[in-house]
Amino acid sequence: MENKKVRIALTKGRIENKAVDLLEKIGYDVSELRNKGRKLILSISGEDIEVVLAKAADVITYVEHGVCDFGIVGKDTIMEHGGKFYEIADLGFGRCRFALAVKEGADFFAGYGVKTVATKYPNVTRRHFEEMGIDVDIVKIEGSVELAPLVGLADGIVDIVETGTTLKENGLEVFHDVAPISARLIVNTVSLKLKQERILEIVDKIKENLE
Amino acid sequence: MKRYAFLTPEGTRDMLFEECAAKRDISERITKLFESYGYSEVITPGLEFYDVFSGKGRSIPQENMYKLVDGKNRLMVLRPDNTMPIARLAATRLKKEELPLKLFYNQNIFMVNPKDSGRDDEISQSGIEILGGDRGSAALEALVLAAKALAACDEDYRLEIGDSGIFAELIAGHGYDDLKVDKLRHAIDTKELPALDRLYKDHTDDDEAAFKALPRLFGGFEVFDEARKYLHGEVLEEKLNKLKKLCEKLGELIPKEKIRVDLGLVHKKDYYTGIIFRGYVEGYGQPVLSGGRYDKLLGEFGRDADAVGFAVNVEAAAKVLLKKDRARFIKFPDVLVFGEDNIAVMKHCEELIDEGKTVYRFLGECPKCAAKYAEEHGIKRVDIVDKDGKITSEEV
């Protein structure tokens, strides 16, 4: 049981690049990860580790079902999708935040009417306003959410904010923060228990090499 | 034809052939185990009143239950849990039966899962409940049976033990509101170390240091020594000693290396009050067994008694068995029987069955088709019965 391969799922894109840097810093041979072509399953030579590339939400699904032992995924996806796994470390990169944004100078809480919030993250939004005890109408938008308040569909948006430049360019501003976000290391609950030594060894190496 | 006439609802599925055989194999072996230890079987209704599952210390989130209304407009649910109905049963129909009661069940539970999560909405469980009796002895018996049930699924199992009382004791006296307790429980349950580190960055007392340490306290028996650094006070030390003793006793009865300890186990079902345990096997991403002690649940139904129990996810165990050795569960009849005279054919079938063979009576028309069917379906022998009842046997 202990000698089986350990499989890590990485979120494609920005998190992937940072994660590969991290693996390299640990001392793993990441050449196959750098020159991956179209391959989706990659190996680290000289190690019992296999790397899988997937979209953020799929990383959670693979880890939850135990077909991957580890996952590296943003807290935003974890908050939106949930799931049963251990969230064992904050990797520090991919740092940004969920925030409620409104048109510049607007007071989101003004008046008695039920407010409308546009978002790509309906679960995060619902939970946030539930915790505040406020009724809101939530509209799910797939593309640029910033448009919704500008054309009058919504009073505000809940979205990921990094620098706030996109908001500013569209005449919006942060009304209040909802939650901080960064990349997280997640582990399947059964893997951690069945391959404890190997998994913790990797976790320690990762933690030692965080910036 | 309507669209949904062709589909099974999300989270459910038809099980076919070897899947059924594997499921029956595991549930029969577990049932035999429970019976050999003198447990009595109960069956509770698949439909229950909502109120059974919604009380002070036994709430299943309402969004996780399949609900419907009966003819009198009362709220009903598809049974979302097996322990609560058995607690109800023990406090009502079995009220006059003396404790301890040792019960077992083989029945399904239903729950609403998030859409597209790939999780099962219908889960077959085989489990036991020990109601009453000496606490230590009952817990040890439940753990031994849990280990044996896991071994029926995979010899290379792990049985993990914790104590939800540790979290309860740490939380007591802090005056945290429910929201904070839920958040803390969630963070410890999911070993969300970053959240705990943030929450207790500058911890001011022992308990806060302990909250941070809890999710990290798992592994072999060495965990108990490590835990002493963080868990202080008479109550916690006593809990720790008791748990250690229980694990050591268990170690005399099952291989020690199968026993794992996780002091960060804080079961979401808040009816658990003491030890909790989970069983893991390779090849399934979630625990295949879970259980624990629930001393207050029966009291909620008006009959105060300690209790402990567990349930095995039978379908998960069957999946693991199938993955290991699918061929074992694929079954072929021994003999295909074919002929024109119905009576002669059926009589021959009966004779073969009496000899202990399994038969497949071919219903088609031509002998060639019969031979072809046998070949395609792994049947090794074809018996052709002619009009006079004469039998020609051919090996395929």
Average pLDDT (B214-228) is: 93
Q: What is the pLDDT of residue B268?
A: 65
Residue A168 lies inside a defined structural domain of this protein: yes
- Let me know if A184 is exposed, middle or buried by CB neighbors in 10 A (0-12, 13-18, 19+): buried
Domain count, chain A: 2
CB contact under 8 A, B117 and A188: no
For residues A143 and A64, membership in a common domain is answered with: no
pTM listed for this prediction: 0.83
For residues A50 and A113, membership in a common domain is answered with: no
For residues A109 and A153, membership in a common domain is answered with: yes
B194 touches chain A (CB under 8 A): yes
Percent of the residues in chain B that have a pLDDT greater than 90, as a whole number: 63
For residues A115 and A191, membership in a common domain is answered with: no
- Let me know if B86 is exposed, middle or buried by CB neighbors in 10 A (0-12, 13-18, 19+): buried
Tens digit of each residue's pLDDT (9 = 90 or more) over B47-77: 999 999 988 777 788 889 999 999 999 999 9
For residues A56 and A101, membership in a common domain is answered with: no
Fold of B332-395: Rossmann fold (3.40.50)
Q: Where are the domains of chain B?
A: 332-395
CB contact under 8 A, A189 and B287: yes
A82 touches chain B (CB under 8 A): yes
Buried b (16+ CB within 10 A) or exposed e, B120-152: bbbbbbbbbbbbbbebeebbbbbbbbbbbbbbb
Q: What is the pLDDT of residue A128?
A: 95
Chain B residues near residue A184 by CB distance under 8 angstroms: 194
The total number of residues shown for chain B amounts to 396
Tens digit of each residue's pLDDT (9 = 90 or more) over B304-333: 999 999 999 999 999 999 998 898 999 899
Beta-carbon-side half-sphere exposure of residue B134 (alpha carbons within 13 Å) = 4
Both tokens of B52, joined, read 């059974």
Residue A174 lies inside a defined structural domain of this protein: yes
Residue A1 lies inside a defined structural domain of this protein: no
User: Using CA atoms, how far apart are residues A12 and B154, in angstroms rounded to an integer?
Assistant: 36
The range of the structural domain enclosing residue A160 comes to 96-179
Q: What is the CATH number of the domain that holds A124?
A: 3.40.190.10
For residues A11 and A87, membership in a common domain is answered with: yes
For residues A173 and A105, membership in a common domain is answered with: yes
For residues A126 and A87, membership in a common domain is answered with: no
For residues A89 and A10, membership in a common domain is answered with: yes
Distance from the A85 Cα atom to the nearest Cα atom in chain B, whole angstroms: 6
For residues A137 and A71, membership in a common domain is answered with: no
For residues A37 and A138, membership in a common domain is answered with: no
For residues A72 and A170, membership in a common domain is answered with: no
CA separation (Å) from A169 to A142, A147, A173, B114?
A: 20, 11, 10, 37
User: Using CA atoms, how far apart are residues B334 and B357, in angstroms rounded to an integer?
Assistant: 6
Chain A residues near residue B178 by CB distance under 8 angstroms: none
Q: Is the reported ipTM for this assembly greater than 0.85?
A: no
A203 touches chain B (CB under 8 A): no
Residue A150 lies inside a defined structural domain of this protein: yes
Residue A197 lies inside a defined structural domain of this protein: yes
